[in-house]
């Protein structure tokens, strides 16, 4: 009976050891699976973060390029307006007087057109007249530029050389706006003299 009891105890101990070994094996398998799942999830999150970072970087580069292209287009457009301004004044000098055919658009306004612009202001005129890309003012002092512009915009000269070329329905507005430019120039010249 003692031998049987010992044999039963040994069988039970062996069964217990096998059960523990099986439990440890299953535990280790589950732990490895969980670790592998966590590693895969972390790798997927890392890839997603890299993907989003790359998408953000591409978007930033695209925005920067678009801003650069806009700035280039604006600079080109600005230079074009500066050149047109000088060309229109050259046309005033070179073209003989005739019947009024111009509209307000044909007048050489010292500004870059702004949609909805109703009045001519110093904030618009001054940056245009002293724009760094304006070739005709290179090497001239501020005072020299103002003096030359004042000769163009003095009301008597402006009205006899420019406003008289404008059709009747636009003329009053052109005379008034030309007077505004002359006032702005006078104000700037007075400031230069102080």
Percent helix, strand and coil across the chain, each rounded to 5? 80, 0, 20
Phi (first) and psi of residue 91, to 5 degrees:
-65, -35
60-109 pLDDT tens trace: 999 999 999 988 888 888 888 899 999 999 999 998 888 999 998 899 99
16-27 pLDDT tens trace: 999 999 999 999
Per-residue b or e along 105-120, where b marks 16 or more CB atoms closer than 10 Å to that residue's CB: ebbbbbbbeeeeeeeb
Contacts of 72 (CB under 8 A, 6+ apart): none
Give the per-residue pLDDT at 185.
97
For residue 102, the SS3 value is strand
Q: How many Å apart are CA 50 and CA 55, to the nearest integer? A: 8
Q: Nearest-CA neighbor of 162 among 142, 182, 138? A: 182
């Amino acid at each position: 009976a003692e031998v049987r009891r010992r044999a039963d105890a040994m069988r039970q101990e062996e069964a217990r050891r096998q059960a523990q070994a099986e439990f440890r094996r299953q535990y280790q398998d589950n732990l490895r699976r969980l670790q592998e799942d966590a590693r895969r999830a972390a790798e997927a999150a890392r890839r997603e973060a890299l993907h989003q970072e790359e998408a953000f970087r591409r978007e930033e580069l695209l925005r920067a390029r678009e801003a650069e292209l806009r700035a280039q287009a604006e600079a080109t457009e600005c230079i074009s307006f500066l050149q047109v301004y000088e060309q229109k004044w050259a046309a005033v000098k070179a073209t003989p007087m005739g019947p009024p055919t111009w509209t307000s658009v044909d007048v050489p306004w010292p500004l870059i057109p702004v949609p909805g612009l109703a009045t001519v202001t110093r904030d618009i005129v001054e940056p245009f007249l002293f724009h760094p890309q304006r070739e005709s003012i290179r090497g001239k002092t501020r005072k020299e530029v103002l003096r030359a512009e004042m000769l163009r915009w003095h009301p008597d000269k402006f009205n006899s050389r420019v406003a008289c070329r404008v059709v009747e329905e636009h003329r009053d507005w052109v005379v008034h706006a030309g007077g505004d430019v002359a006032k702005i120039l006078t104000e700037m010249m007075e400031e230069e003299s102080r």
